[in-house]
Amino acid sequence: MSVVRQGSLGATRVCPHCKATVLQSANICPGCQHHLRFSAANAEPQSEGVPAMRIEGSIHHPGRGEQCEYCVVVSITNEKGEKIARQVVGVGALQPGEHHNYSFSVDVIPARGSVGGERKLR
């Protein structure tokens, strides 16, 4: 079990709305877009995320007549090739003539200077 320092960089929590693992510093869930903090009066302005990477693409059903299935996998590795995360984010069926668009994005959020004040897990 690792020791989590108070306000440590990259600390996470679970979004109460969609159960995604999000950054503890996030005010809005990047998945479901719900607000995660309600203390509007003394809310700190959140650091702006800087878009670091974005990939978009589309696929269409390749054949005629028969259906096919699809599986979307996102993986993260470090510079040594060690796996940090690998997750299936979506599966389903693609019908003949159907067309899907996919987008993948990475935002880099500069850490605030004085992290470590509040630490709410809910």
Provide, rounded to whole angstroms, the least separation between the CB of residue 109 and Zn ion.
16
Interface residues with Zn ion (CB under 5 A)?
A: 15, 17-18, 29, 31-32
Provide, rounded to whole angstroms, the least separation between the CB of residue 4 and Zn ion.
21
Nearer to Zn ion among residue 15 and residue 61 (C-beta):
15
3-state secondary structure of 91: strand
DSSP string, 10-32: T-EEE-TTT--EEETT-SB-TTT
Nearer to Zn ion among residue 94 and residue 109 (C-beta):
109
Provide, rounded to whole angstroms, the least separation between the CB of residue 61 and Zn ion.
31
Q: Is 25 exposed, middle or buried (0-12, 13-18, 19+ CB in 10 A)?
A: buried
Nearer to Zn ion among residue 30 and residue 94 (C-beta):
30
Residues in Cβ contact with 4 at an 8 Å cutoff, skipping those fewer than 6 apart: 11
